[in-house]
Amino acid sequence: MIDREQVAVSDKKRSGRTAREASYVACALIAIAVFAYTFTDPFVVTLAGYTCAFALFALSINIILGGVGEVPLGQCLFFGVGAYGAAIGMGKLGLPFEVSVLIALVLSVVLAAIIGVITLRLTGAYFSIVSWGLTGVAMVAATNLEEITGGPLGLFGFPPIEIGPLQLSDPQTYFAVTATILLLAILFLVALRRSPFGAAMDSVRQNPHLARSVGVDVARVRLKAFMLSAPFAALAGALAVPYTQIVTPEVFSVANTVDGLLMVLLGGAQLVVGPVIGAAIFTLIPQAMNLDPNIRILVFSSIIILIMMFAPGGLHQLGVALRDRLGRKTDDDRSR
Amino acid sequence: MKLAYRMKVMFSVGAVVATTLQLAYAPSAMAADPVKIGLALPLSGAAATYGQELQRGAEYAADLINQRGGILSGRKLELVFEDEKGTPQGGVAAVQKLMSVGRVKAITGGTNSSVVLAESSVTKKRILQVNAGAQADAITDQGSPWLFQINNTVSLNSEAFNAYIVKTLKPKTVAYMGENSEFNKTVLEKLRESLKSAGIELVSTSTYDAETNDFTSILTKIKASNPDMIYVADAYPARAAQLWKQVRQIGGFKTEVMSPGVVTPGMIKPSEGAMNGVITGEIFMASDPGPDGKDFVENYQKKFNSVPGKGELVIFEAINLIASAMDKAGTDSDYDKISKVIREGAWQSPRGLLKFDEKGRARAPYFYIQRVENGAVVQLERVSAN
C-alpha cells in the first residue's frame, strides 16, 4: 500500500516535472525567436550567436569538469579540430559546411578515443598537464602543415557559409541556428545526467574508489565521458567559424580553454545550464561596460573574484539562495 | 496560479532586459553629425603597446584636422576606439560594434595580420577599411575594392631591401636564419629570388620556433659554412636581442643584416651593443624624415615629448587619407566614389606623396637603409621607390 502510494506520488511529481520542463523548453524557443526577430543590430545578434557557440564549448568542458571531475585543459584541441575541420572542408575540399562539420565531429570522437586511452589513466594535475601538452603539439602541427592548415596565417576567405537554405552569414539566422543547437545540446545533457551513465559519472567524480568497489568501470566511464565531450567542443569550434571568419593555430591556445573553464565556474559546474549562464555573462558584461579596456579588465576580474568568493558553486547559487530566502520549497533536483 | 505568476515575472524581466539593451544600443539620431571613424586596436593584451602608439598617432591626426575646420564643409572628425585584444574574434567583435553601435563611416587600425584578415571579411563591400600597420600580402590579395593598406607589405619591404643587398653590399655567399612564421616565409622567398637572379649563393637556411632562445647550434653550423653575410629575420625584440648577443659570442660575421621593418629601440637596447653594425631597412626614419616629414616629427615631439615611431606615422597617414579622400569625394558613405578618389589621387604624407595601386597598397615613397651604431639606427642611404 505505502509503496504504491509512493510510486503514485513520484509519478505525479515526474509528470509535473515533465510539464514544467516542457514549458521551459517552450519559453527558450520563444525567447530565441523573439530575440532573433526583435534585435536587428548585427553586433548584438552575432555576438549572441557566437556566445551560444562558445557556450557549447563550455558545456563540453563541463562534461569532464562537472561530470567526472577532471580539469580538461586540453579541450581546445577538439575545439580546434572542429574549427579546422570546417575550414579545411569548405576552403580546401569544397565540401558543404554541414558535411565538413560532420567529418570533424567524427574525427574528434576518434581522436578523443585515442587520446583518452593514453591519458585517462592519469588523474588530477597529470591529466590536465598532458592534455594541455597535446594542444601544444596540435598548435605546432597547425603552424607547420602549411598545405593543409594554411600555416601561421591560417585559413580564411571562405565561401558564404550555409546549412541547406540557412545563410549563417546573416546575423539573425546565425543566432537562431547556434541557439537552437545549444538548446538541443542542453536537452541531451539533461537526459544524459538522468541516465544510468549520468549516475555512473557522478559516482566516479565523487569517489572513484567507492565507485570501483561497487562495480563501476571507472576507466570506461571516464573514456566514454571524454569521447562524448569531444564532439560538443568540435561543434562549438565549427560554429565559431562563421563568426571569426578565420582559423589560425591560436584556436589551440590554452587561453581558449581557460575562457571556457571560467564560464563553467561562473555559471556553476553542477548545473547543466550553468556554463551557458557563465558564457552569457563572460561575453556580454565586458561588451556592455563602456570603459577603458584596461580598466574593464580590472573591473571584470574583480567581478569574477567576487562571484567566486560569494558563490563558489557558481552564480546560480545566488538564485537558489534567493529562492530559499523567499520561502519557496527547496528543490534538490539540480539536474536541470 | 503559480505558473501564471512565474510566466508574468519572466515576461516582465524579459521586457526590462530588452528595453535596457535597446536603449544601450540605440543610435543617436542627430543631424550635422561629426564624421565618425572607427579604430580597432589592440588596447589590452600582449600587443597593447602597439595599440597605444596607434591611438596617440590617430588622436594627433584628428586634432590637426579638426583645428583646420574638419572635413565636408565643417564637420568634425570623431574617433571611436574599440579594443580588438590582438585576436581575430576580438577584431570581428570590435569592427561589428564600431559599425553598428558606433555608427562609424570608416574603419582603420590594424597591427596584426590575422586580426585584420578576420576584420576584412566583416568590412568587405560594407565599409571603407584602411589597414594602417599589418603587413601580410594576403590582406590586400583578397581583392576587396574598399580595402587599402598604408604600410608596405612584407614583399614590398623585402624587395626594396634585397635590392640594396644585391647592388651595394654584394656578398658572395649568404646564410639565412629566422623564426618560422608567416611573415618570415615571405622574407625568405623574396631573398631566395633576389639572390638567385644576382647569382649569389644562399649557403644555408635555418628556421627556429618561437620558443627558441639558444641559437648556438644554428650559429655554429652557419659559422662553419663561412658566409660573407648573415641575414636574420626575427620580429620579436627580446629574442632577436638574445640572438645577436650569441652572434657576438661566436665572433660575428663580415656583413650582418636584419629583415626590414623590425628593428626598434626595444630590440636594440636589450642587445646591449651586440647589434652594432647590423644593417636593416625601414620605411620611415624620425631622425631624417625628409622635407615632408619635418613638421610632423617636430610638432609631434613638441606635443608628446617623444619621437614618433612607425606606428604613430602609419595611423596618422591612415586618418589623413580617410579624411582627405572623403572631403575630396564630397561624401562620407559612397565608398565606390571614395575608393576611386583614393586610387586616382596622390596623397600628401610625412613620407612624401603616397599613391595606391589596384590592390589598394601604398608603396613607401622612400626606403631607408640603416645601420645600428651605439644603440641607435643611423641612415646609410635613402632610396626613392619611384
Q: Which residue has the higher pLDDT, A311 or A250?
A: A250
- Which pLDDT belongs to residue A238? 96
Judging contacts by C-beta atoms under 8 Å, the chain B residues touching residue A41 are 25, 100-101
- pTM value? 0.80
Assigned C-alpha cell, B20: 535596457
| CB nearest A157 (choices: B48, B87, B142) | B142
- Which pLDDT belongs to residue B41? 94
pLDDT string in tens for chain B (386-residue length): 444 555 555 555 454 444 444 444 444 434 468 999 999 999 887 778 788 889 999 999 999 999 999 998 889 999 999 999 888 888 988 999 999 888 999 999 988 888 999 899 889 889 999 999 998 898 999 888 999 999 999 999 999 999 999 999 999 999 999 988 778 888 999 999 999 999 999 999 999 987 788 999 999 999 999 999 999 999 888 889 999 999 999 999 999 999 998 888 888 888 999 999 999 999 988 877 777 888 899 989 998 888 888 889 999 999 999 999 999 999 999 999 999 999 999 999 998 899 999 999 998 888 999 999 998 889 898 888 75
Q: What does the pLDDT look like over A250-283, one tens digit per residue?
A: 899 888 899 899 899 888 888 888 899 889 888 8
Which of A65-69, A312-316, B3-7, B377-381 has the lowest average pLDDT?
B3-7
Phi, psi for B214 (deg, rounded to 5):
-115, 115
Quote the minimal CA–CA distance from A153 to chain B in Å: 6
Mean pLDDT of chain A: 86
Judging contacts by C-beta atoms under 8 Å, the chain A residues touching residue B92 are 243-245
Quote the minimal CA–CA distance from B180 to chain A in Å: 8
- Which pLDDT belongs to residue B19? 46
Q: Residue A47 and residue B96: Cβ atoms within 8 Å?
A: yes
Q: What does the pLDDT look like over A242-253, one tens digit per residue?
A: 998 889 898 998
Quote the minimal CA–CA distance from B7 to chain A in Å: 9
Judging contacts by C-beta atoms under 8 Å, the chain A residues touching residue B44 are 293-294, 296-297
Distance of CA B339 to the CA centre of its chain: 20
Q: Which residue has the higher pLDDT, A99 or B213?
A: A99
Judging contacts by C-beta atoms under 8 Å, the chain A residues touching residue B87 are 250
Q: Residue B99 and residue A31: Cβ atoms within 8 Å?
A: no
Query: Hey, of B43, B55, B85, B89, which one would you mutate to test binding to chain A, going by the most A CBs within 10 A of its CB?
Result: B89
Whole-angstrom distance, CA of residue A77 vs CA of residue A234: 8
Q: How confident is the model at residue A13 (pLDDT cuts 50, 70, 90)?
A: low
| CB nearest B113 (choices: A47, A153, A297) | A153
Judging contacts by C-beta atoms under 8 Å, the chain B residues touching residue A27 are 10
Residue A208: pLDDT over 60: yes
Judging contacts by C-beta atoms under 8 Å, the chain B residues touching residue A156 are 117-118, 121, 138
- Which pLDDT belongs to residue A327? 65
Quote the minimal CA–CA distance from B102 to chain A in Å: 10
Which of A81-85, A171-175, B36-40, B256-260 has the lowest average pLDDT?
A171-175
Q: Residue A243 and residue B92: Cβ atoms within 8 Å?
A: yes
Q: Which has the closest alpha carbon to B363: B385, B334, B382? A: B385
